[in-house]
Chain A
Amino acid sequence: MPPCLPRLLAAVLLSGATAVLAQTTVTVVNFGGANGNAQKKAYYEPFEKAAGVRMVPVEYNGEQAKVKAMVEARKVTWDIVETESPDVDRGCDEGLFERIDWSRIGNKADFLPAAVHDCGVGIFFWSTVIAYNADRVKEPPRHWADFWDLRKYPGKRALRKGARYNLEFALMADGVKPADVYKVLATPEGAERAFRKLAELKPHLQWWEAGAQPPQFLVAGDVIMASSYNGRIDAAQREGRNLRITWTGSIFDVDFWTIPKGSPNRDVAMRFIAFASDPDRQADYARLISYGPTHSKTLGKLDAKVLANLPSAPANAKDALRFDFRFWADQGEVLEKRFAAWAAQ
């Protein structure tokens, strides 16, 4: 009996210790790749230390089906989700997300207006740009008309699968000014024009779905040009790849932190969002990947070299288009269906 006692005691102590060590585990969902890594370093790891919780990152490509399924089944296992702007708006209307308690996040007025939503806090500004491999393309494409110029730039091109962005790009390639793109696209003739322009490229198109694909295609030489998230090209440049960006006609948008409705950790999640919205944290993030901060005081903390690569740099934003998520919330389904019909022909 006596030899058993210490072991028993140890077991009791150990189980006590694990009980003390059992931390809150928070699941945070992001778009993975270079962006996910930057979030991990700038946001998750410091927050783990500061708040004593464990952050479990999960990757996705923005599909909202899982959020909807979790909320409908009242079994929410995602606590914080990086969500694209049209999905934040739509999900907010349909009751998929918790309302943000802005008094806990900070001063609303400090955030850029586009980054403030009832159900979301803007994380960063990002752009979809023209990217190309400077080892293969000698003369840089200047705008979307060059992207469409098959004679000057023969070869395949990659675009994100779906109607979003591509119809805007097609109209700009067809000579529509960025400021008029959504006005034109809202008319039946404008939509027709966009699809007709897109059809010119059809035999030369390769779709991408994950943000990591365009730089891969470009490096492997599968495509000559691609639409791409600007941060992914930045990440490839940091790995020594000779990929370049053309900012003219880029479309910028905001990604948001959201909390799926009924998350058991919504209190910690709200704390995390407040933590990650701090200008110093956002500056750390912008140094790791060239996505623009949403807190107005962050810009002052960044040096000129970092600033020059952000979508918000004046030179980059000059001929850019702001993504109109309300337009896409209304017209998205019908345009996407038409796109699917068009792509299938």
Chain B
Amino acid sequence: MSSLDSIDRSIIEAAQAGLAITPCPYAEIAKSVGIGEADVIVRLGHLMERGVVRRIGVAPNHYALGLIANGMTVWDIEDEVASEVGREVGALPFVTHCYLRPRALPSWPYNLFAMVHGTTRDEVETKRREIALLAGPACRACDVLYSKRILKKTGLRLSGNGG
């Protein structure tokens, strides 16, 4: 954690459990860290520019929104074109996460992972067919793993023991 100074770290620790839902949430962080509100805002801006903070906002519960079908679609894409296919798949509006990952042969031949959400499994299957069309003959095999249950969801937490 060498790239974060102790004040950055204190700000993140104060903010990561959630911003206060009050008119001036950054002032609340400032109070708990012991610096000025303007400093908090400037530092969070720098952390966003550096990519340490990807965004500030909400994460909804997909199930509560009615998006009860959550499919991790997985694809065995020829290595030579896997990056190119990944870029195209990742650009689809209904794909929320898309990664190239190593295969775990022999049991796991898939190297491209694309998360697709829908209100029904039929909707996810329709989207999966769109991905298959896009991947074309470079795709040798595919599968979809539906989620049955969220067992844990806390996000990344910094432990409080310093860098």
Answer yes or no: are A and B bound together in one complex.
Answer: no
Q: Chain B interface (Cβ within 8 Å of chain A)?
A: none
Q: Chain A interface (Cβ within 8 Å of chain B)?
A: none
